[in-house]
């Protein structure tokens, strides 16, 4: 990624994002030279006016908390959503929140019945007479230790519509109004479920009239019944569906008359496969997405989750290559199994 060759000072880093979106793939791409460099620039850059982020899980050696503290001490707007209901990290997150509050950071705790699981960071920077918003959206936690052993994706962008959506979400979290609509992001519990189902349905409709039709999904778990029903229906219309589910999958693949065109596999490798990826091909249109949610009722209905589009063709190819690498061996395994049966 271009971050690797960018200088450490904030001006050059932000100009790299300004040149075009950047997609990083951890741990193959360094967390330190991408996200950590991004947040370190906020308090050091005199043109930065605000740093806002979410903390679901973080580590003692992460620069995120120090960056928030230094930004507050420098007189910048410093906002952090700390999710106190992050399982197994409740005590740690309470300690972080108290330390941040003592330093003058605006700490918010979300909602009693809505866990904040989205991984998003927003930096606002004054450039001449305008304010530019720079965004990071990820599939994994801002955790320096797990970033070395968990496989995850992160998107850096200055896209105005994505940045406006993220700004609206931070306003919602901090109590300044409920978003009326989202421009590009898919957000739970607002429209994520319906938008994903619309994407799957469009693929099924394309398959029904003989157009190229394919769904590729990579998640930790797939248990949501309405999503599974849509996948079954798309399969019955002829769509090719490939799913990588690291842990739980309630969908039954390769069932005659139900899911003959669906392949499901779990991947066990050197790193824990943690990213959530979605690719929908319906005729000539293919959309690419990364995000924080698994396809479970709790993620789609009871959590704040964000899925972002990957729109740059070069980054789309990188996204596709990652999914293709996972499924290549699966296809060979199916061919060998079929040959043995014959």
Backbone angles phi, psi at 322, to 5 degrees: -65, -45
Contacts (Cβ under 8 Å, ≥6 apart) of 197: 226, 227, 230
Q: How many CB atoms lie under 10 A from the CB of residue 149?
A: 12
CB 59 within 8 A of CB 31: no
Backbone angles phi, psi at 148, to 5 degrees: -90, -20
- Gap between the Cα atoms of 41 and 15, Å rounded: 12
pLDDT value, residue 110: 76
Q: How many CB atoms lie under 10 A from the CB of residue 289?
A: 21
pLDDT value, residue 111: 85
CB 66 within 8 A of CB 60: no
CB 142 within 8 A of CB 317: no
Report mean pLDDT in 10-residue bins for the chain, 342 residues.
Answer: 50 87 96 92 95 79 86 96 65 75 88 90 97 97 90 97 97 87 97 98 98 98 98 98 96 96 91 96 98 97 97 96 81 51 45
- Gap between the Cα atoms of 13 and 1, Å rounded: 12
Determine which one of 117, 136, 274, 319 is catalytic: 117
In terms of Cα–Cα distance, which of 184, 129, 134, 181 is closest to 18? Answer: 134
CB 17 within 8 A of CB 134: yes
319 catalytic residue (yes or no): no
Q: Is the dihedral of CA 329, 330, 335, 336 positive or negative?
A: positive
């Amino acid at each position: 990624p271009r971050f690797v060759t960018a200088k450490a000072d904030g001006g050059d880093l932000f100009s790299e994002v300004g040149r075009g979106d950047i997609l990083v793939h951890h741990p193959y791409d360094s967390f330190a030279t991408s996200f950590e460099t991004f947040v370190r620039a906020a308090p050091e850059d005199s043109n930065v006016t605000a740093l806002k982020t979410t903390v679901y899980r973080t580590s003692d050696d992460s620069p995120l908390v120090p960056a928030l503290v230094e930004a507050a001490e420098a007189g910048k707007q410093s906002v952090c959503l700390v999710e106190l209901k992050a399982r197994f990290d409740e005590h740690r997150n309470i300690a972080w929140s108290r330390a941040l509050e003592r330093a003058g950071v605006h700490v918010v705790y979300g909602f009693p019945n809505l866990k904040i699981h989205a991984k998003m960071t927003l930096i606002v920077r004054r450039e001449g007479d305008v304010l530019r918003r720079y965004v990071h959206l990820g599939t994994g936690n801002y955790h320096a230790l797990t970033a070395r052993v968990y496989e995850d994706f992160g998107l850096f962008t200055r896209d105005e519509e994505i940045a406006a959506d993220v700004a609206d979400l931070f306003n919602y979290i901090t109590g300044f109004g409920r978003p009326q609509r989202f421009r590009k992001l898919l957000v739970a519990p607002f429209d994520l479920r319906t938008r994903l189902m619309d994407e799957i349905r469009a693929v099924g409709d394309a398959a029904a009239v003989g157009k190229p039709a394919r769904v590729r999904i990579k998640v930790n778990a797939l248990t949501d019944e309405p999503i599974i029903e849509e996948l079954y229906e798309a399969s019955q219309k002829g769509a090719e569906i490939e799913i990588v589910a690291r842990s739980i999958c309630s969908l039954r693949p390769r069932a005659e008359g139900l899911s003959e065109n669906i392949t499901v596999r779990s991947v066990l490798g050197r790193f824990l496969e943690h990213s959530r990826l979605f690719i929908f091909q319906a005729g000539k249109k293919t959309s690419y997405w990364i995000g924080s949610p698994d396809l479970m009722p709790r993620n789609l209905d009871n959590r704040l989750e964000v899925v972002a589009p990957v729109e740059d063709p070069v980054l789309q190819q990188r996204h596709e290559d990652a999914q293709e690498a996972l499924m290549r061996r699966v296809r060979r395994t199916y061919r060998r199994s079929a040959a043995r049966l014959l």
